[in-house]
Amino acid sequence: MAETLSPCAPRGQCQANMGANTSSATVDTNASSVLVGSSTWRAREPFSIFTILILTLLVLLTVATFLWNLLVLVTILRVKAFHRVPHNLVASTAVSDVLVAALVMPLSLVKELSAGRRWRLGRELCLVWVCFDVLCCTASIWNVTAIALDRYWSITRHLEYTLLTRRRISNVMIVLTWVLSAAISLAPLFGWGETYSPEQERCQVSQEPSYTIVSTGGAFYLPLCVVLFVYWKIY
C-alpha cells in the first residue's frame, strides 16, 4: 500500500529528483549572487575616459574664463587710456563673466559629477546658484547690447554724442542692465515659481510658464533683437 501511494516510485528516482532540485537551487543562488555582485561592481565603477575628458575640458574652460576676464579688468584698471567709454561697458561685461566663472560654473560641475545630476547641496545654495546664474548671464547679454547701442549712437550721432554725454549714457545703461538682471533673477525668491525640489533633488531655473516667458524674453530675445537691428543699421 505504501509503495502504491508514494508519489516517487521507485525510491531511487525520487532521490535523484531531489538531488537535481537541490543542485538547481544552488545554481540559482550562485547566479543571483553573481548578478548582485556585478551590479554592485557596476555601481562602483569609476568614470569613463570620455567623462573624465569632458570634465577636464569643463574645468579648463572655467579657469580660462575666470583668468581671461580678470585680466581684462586688471588691464582696464591699470591703463589710464582705458578709463573712458566704451571700456566701462567692457569692464561691466567682464565683471559679469568673472562672477559666472567664480560662482556659477564650479557648482555646475558639482551637479554634473553627482549621480543622475541631482542637487545635494541644499535649498539655500540652490537658490544662490540659480540667482547668480540668471543674474550674471542676463547682465552679460545686456552689457553686450549696451556696447552695440554705444557704437550705433557714436556713428549715427557723432556731433551730438559727445564724450560727456557718452559717459553719462553708458553709466545709465550699466545701472539699468544690472537692475533689470537683478529683477529677473530675484523674482523666484518672492514666489514666482520654484527652483528647488527636495523630493527629486532637483535645482533649476523656475519652470513657471509666465516666468519663463518674461525671463527668456527679457534676458535673451529682446536684447537679441536690439543687437541684430543695431548692427544691421551700422553695416
Q: Between residues 79 and 180, which one has the greater pLDDT?
A: 180
Share of the chain above pLDDT 70, in %: 79
Residue 4 pLDDT level (bands cut at 50, 70, 90) = very low
178-202 in b/e form (b: 16+ CB < 10 A) is: bebbeebbebbeeeebebbeeeebb
Strands 196-197 and 202-203: what pairing? antiparallel
Take residue 13 and report the three cell numbers written for it.
528516482
Q: What is the pLDDT of residue 115?
A: 67
Residue 226 lies in a domain: yes
Residue 18 lies in a domain: no
Q: For the segment 107-122, what is each residue's pLDDT rounded down to a tens digit?
A: 888 887 776 678 888 8
Residue 93 lies in a domain: yes
Q: For the segment 6-41, what is each residue's pLDDT rounded down to a tens digit?
A: 444 444 444 444 444 444 444 444 444 433 444 433
Which residue segment(s) compose the domain that 163 sits in?
A: 49-234
Q: For the segment 164-207, what is each residue's pLDDT rounded down to a tens digit?
A: 888 899 999 999 999 999 999 999 888 787 888 877 778 888 88
Q: Show the CA angle centred on residue 29, arms to residues 28 and 31, nearest 5°.
A: 65
Question: Which DSSP symbol is given to 154?
Answer: H
Tell me the CATH number at 206.
1.20.1070.10
Our count of domains for the chain comes to 1
